[in-house]
Amino acid sequence: MKGLEIRKITKIYQEEPVLQGISFQQNQGEILALLGPSGSGKSTLLEIIAGLVEPDSGDCLWDGESLAGVPPHLRGFGLMFQEYVLFPHKNVQENIAFGLKMSGKALPETTSRVKEVLKLVGLSGFEDRDVNTLSGGEQQRVALARSLAPEPRLVMLDEPLGALDRTIRERLVGDLKKILNSASQTALYVTHDQEEAFSIADRVVIIGEGTAVQIGTPQEIYYQPGSPYVARFLGMDNLLEGEAQPNSSGCLLKTKLGEWQVSRSYKGKGLMLLRPDQIKIDPDSKNQAVFLRGTVRTSTFSGSALQIELDVVGTLIHFSLPDPGLNVPKPGKALSVSFKPDAALHFFSKE
C-alpha cells in the first residue's frame, strides 16, 4: 500500500508494556489522528515512527518498505512538538530555512520556499520578524512552516496546540486543517482532545492500553463506539447493566431502569449505553419516545450548554442541554426526560 503502515509494534519500559502489538494503516494525503488519554502510548509510537526510539518488536513501513534501521534524517518525515523549540537568536526566515540549509538547498530555492510556506500558514511578510516578539499562535505557525518547508512525505504533530489557551486553540485547529489540506500533506496528529481530533482528522485511531481499540471516521466512532472503553473515553458514561432478548422486531433491552424495544438485534447480557446527546428535557409523547423521571443531582452551566446529573432511582444519568436559556433546573428538582430507543440506545454484549 501507499503510505504508512504500523505492524504489531510493541514497546516495554521498565517491565511495563507501553505499546502492545498496535497496528493500523494510513493512506497518502490523509490526516490521521491518534487519540487517547495520557499514558496510552501515543507519543512513544510517534517517536518510534520518527526513528528516535526502537520498538521491541513489530515494524513501521512506508509504501510497503520497512523503515527498520533507517535513521531519522533519512526517513523524510517532519516532527512538530507541543514545545515549538524555535531558535531564539534567529528570525522567522532563518528558523524556517534551517532544515532546508541542512539538506543542502541553494539560497534562491530556500528563500522561495520560505516565502511559499509563510503564505501557506498565513504569515506572509514575517520573514524578518524576531520570533521572541510573536504571539503563541504565530510561533505555532512558524513551527509548522518549518516542519512543512522540506516537503516531508509525512509530518507528525505531537499535541501541537497544547501550549495555547483555549480561544486561540479553537481558532487554529480549523486553520491547521486547511493548511494541511492545501499542502496535500500526509499528517499524523497526536492529541488527547476529542474535539480537536474530530475537527482535524479524516480518520481517528483510538488508543487504549497500548493498542488500537477502534479506527474509523470521526462520525463512525462518535455514533458507533466499538466498546464501553471508547464510549467512556468520549464522555458517554451512561452505561447500564442489562440483558438483550431477541424477538421478531429486533430485541428487548432490559435494565433496572426499564425495558425498551429496539429494532437492532442484540443478544445476551452486557452493558447498555444511553447516549447523552439523545436525551431531551421536554418529554414528547409522540414519535415513539420513552420517559425517565428523576431528581436533579447537579447542574453545571458552561456557557454554551448545561450539564445535568439526574438521579433515576439511584442511578446517575448524565446529559447536556444546549442553549438552556434562563430556565436552569436546580438540584433537588424533579425532572422528566425522554429519548427514542433506536437513536439513544446501544448494547455492548459480553458474548
From first to last of its 351 residues, the chain has per-residue pLDDT tens of: 689 999 999 999 988 999 999 999 999 999 999 999 988 999 899 999 999 999 999 999 999 999 999 999 899 998 887 666 788 999 999 999 988 888 888 888 999 999 999 998 889 999 999 999 998 888 888 988 998 999 999 999 998 877 677 777 777 888 889 889 988 999 999 999 999 999 999 999 999 989 999 999 999 999 999 999 999 999 999 999 999 999 999 999 999 999 999 999 999 999 999 999 999 886 555 566 889 999 999 998 877 788 999 999 999 999 988 877 767 788 999 999 999 999 999 999 886
First CA to last CA across the chain, in angstroms? 34
Give the per-residue pLDDT at 302.
79
CA–CA gap between residue 33 and residue 196 (Å, rounded): 9
Question: Do 42 and 14 have their domain in common?
Answer: yes
Question: Residue 137 has what pLDDT?
Answer: 83
Which pLDDT value is given to residue 174?
84
Residue of 189, 237, 248, 199 lying closest to 219 (CA atoms): 199
Could you give the count of Cα atoms lying within 13 Å of 265 in the half-sphere of its Cβ?
A: 4
Q: Which pLDDT score is estimated for 214?
A: 97
- What range defines the domain where residue 194 resides? 3-233
Computed from CA positions of residues 188, 166, 39, 226, in that sequence, does the dihedral angle turn out positive or negative?
negative
- Could you say which of 233, 260, 290 is where a domain stops? 233
Q: Which residues have CB under 8 Å from 298's CB, separation 6+?
A: 307, 308, 309, 331
CATH for 334: 2.40.50.140
CB atoms within 10 A of CB 5: 19
Query: Looking at 233, 264, 294, which one is the last position of a domain?
Result: 233
The whole-angstrom separation of Cα 176 and Cα 1 is 27
Does residue 178 sit in the same domain as residue 39?
yes
- pLDDT at position 82: 67
267 and 175 assigned to the same domain = no
The reply to whether 142 and 197 lie within a common domain is yes
Is the same domain home to 31 and 148?
yes
CATH number at residue 157: 3.40.50.300
Residues 66 and 168 in one domain: yes
Domain boundary among 181, 205, 233: 233
Q: CA quadruple 223, 226, 231, 237: dihedral positive or negative? A: positive
The number of distinct structural domains making up the chain is 2
The pLDDT, as a whole number, for residue 328 is 78
**Residue 7 identity (one-letter amino acid):** R
215 and 150 assigned to the same domain: yes
Question: What pTM did the predictor assign?
Answer: 0.89
Phi, psi of 71 (to 5 degrees): -65, 160
Q: Quick one: 164 and 31 in the same domain?
A: yes
If asked whether residues 208 and 316 sit together in one domain, one would say no
Based on the fold, state whether residues 217 and 244 are members of the same structural domain: no
Sheet holding 203-208, edge to edge: 77-80, 154-158, 187-191, 31-35, 203-208, 211-216
Torsion of CA 344, 345, 348, 351, to 10 degrees: -160
